[in-house]
């Protein structure tokens, strides 16, 4: 089975890159399952129903959020009604929505997607992601009760993300980091077969400060006496995603390849 996991889609230019590249990639590379992180899809802050539906129409199977997933009006109702859109699982138990999705891939295989939030240096609090995974993996067994298990860990620290990757090595198909909007060059298969990348970056305009207009963001950092309003950058986006081939029997990874198409980080996929 072949899966594609894309980093934080940022604002209009990020959405345009999804429309431009995803449908063609999905058919050309015979991708069975697509995950998009949509935490910043609506102007940089969360997602709404119309945008979520456009992602599904473009070929996404499951969408994940993060610390901004409740930012838009109507987000609570959307998260309660749309099972394919996740908020982090380890938010307080009374939080609307869900953090796990049992989905069916285009090839009929059962894919479990789990979305988690980091605990270190994040703007909102979360419960222990390691304990949460132990709890979930007592139910989902890779290669037995699930053909694939994919974890989106929305976190700031590279160390925390690497710790979760190794903690889950051999028990899930893939662990990818999201949230920082900067892709790390460490995509690999860990010792016991889990695909891993510390951060898969963003689908967004990289001529920016993590997706925000560079002039205003530079002002924010360099003149802390000025109150700056950040707005999303609107130049051509780079479409970023981790492509993973899984063994059909074990659900573990065989091949990983990081894709960057268009915009400032563009590369060829050959």
Q: Pick the closer one to Fe ion by CB: 67 or 90.
A: 67
Sign of CA dihedral 202, 205, 211, 217: positive
Is residue 261 classed as helix, strand or coil in its secondary structure?
A: strand
Alpha-carbon span 240 to 140, nearest angstrom: 28
Does 44 engage in binding with Fe ion (CB under 5 A)? Answer: no
**Which residues of the chain form beta strands (DSSP E)?**
2-6, 8-9, 33-37, 62-64, 85-86, 100-104, 110-117, 148-154, 174-178, 188-189, 195-197, 202-203, 239-246, 253-261
Instruction: Tell me: does residue 161 bind Fe ion (CB under 5 A).
Output: no
Which one of 32-40, 103-111, 244-252, 256-264 is the stretch in contact with Fe ion (CB under 5 A)?
A: 32-40
Q: Which stretch binds Fe ion (CB under 5 A): 31-39, 82-90, 193-201, 241-249?
A: 31-39
**Rounded distance between C-alpha atoms, residue 95 and residue 58, angstroms:** 29
Q: How far is the CB of 242 from Fe ion (least distance, A)?
A: 16
- Integer Cα distance of 21 and 45 in angstroms: 22
Nearer to Fe ion, 44 or 193 (CB): 44
Quote the least distance from Cβ 10 to Fe ion, whole Å: 7
For residue 264, give the DSSP letter. G
Among residues 2, 109, 171, 179, which is the contact residue for Fe ion, using CB under 5 A?
Answer: 179
Q: Does 67 interact with Fe ion (rule: CB under 5 A)? A: yes
Among 40, 197, 232, 238, binds Fe ion (CB under 5 A): 40
154 an active-site residue?
Answer: no
**Considering the rule CB under 5 A, would residue 66 count as an interface residue with Fe ion?**
yes
Binding site for Fe ion (CB under 5 A): 8, 39-40, 66-67, 179
């Amino acid at each position: 089975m072949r899966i594609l996991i894309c980093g934080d889609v940022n604002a209009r230019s990020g959405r345009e890159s999804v429309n431009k590249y995803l449908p063609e990639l999905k058919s050309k590379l015979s991708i069975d399952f697509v995950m998009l992180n949509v935490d910043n899809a609506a102007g940089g802050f969360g997602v709404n129903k119309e945008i979520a539906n456009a992602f599904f129409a473009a070929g996404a199977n499951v969408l994940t959020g993060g610390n901004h997933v409740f930012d838009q009006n109507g987000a609570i109702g959307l998260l309660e009604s749309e099972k394919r859109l996740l908020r982090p699982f380890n938010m307080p138990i009374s939080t609307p929505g869900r953090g796990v999705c049992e989905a069916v891939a285009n090839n009929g295989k059962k894919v479990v997607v789990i979305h988690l939030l980091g605990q270190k240096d994040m703007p909102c609090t979360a419960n222990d992601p390691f304990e949460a995974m132990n709890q979930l993996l007592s139910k989902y067994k890779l290669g037995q009760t699930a053909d694939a298990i994919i974890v989106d860990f929305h976190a700031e620290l590279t160390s925390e993300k690497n710790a979760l990757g190794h903690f889950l090595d051999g028990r899930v198909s893939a662990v990818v980091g999201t949230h920082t909007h900067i892709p790390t060059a460490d995509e690999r298969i860990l010792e016991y077969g889990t695909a891993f990348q510390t951060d898969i970056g963003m689908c967004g305009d990289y001529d920016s400060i993590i997706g925000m207009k560079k002039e205003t963001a530079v002002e924010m950092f360099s003149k802390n006496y000025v109150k700056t309003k950040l707005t999303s950058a609107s130049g051509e986006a780079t479409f970023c995603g981790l492509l993973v081939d899984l063994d059909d029997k074990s659900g573990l990874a065989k091949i990983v390849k990081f894709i960057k198409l268009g915009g400032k980080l563009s590369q060829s996929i050959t």
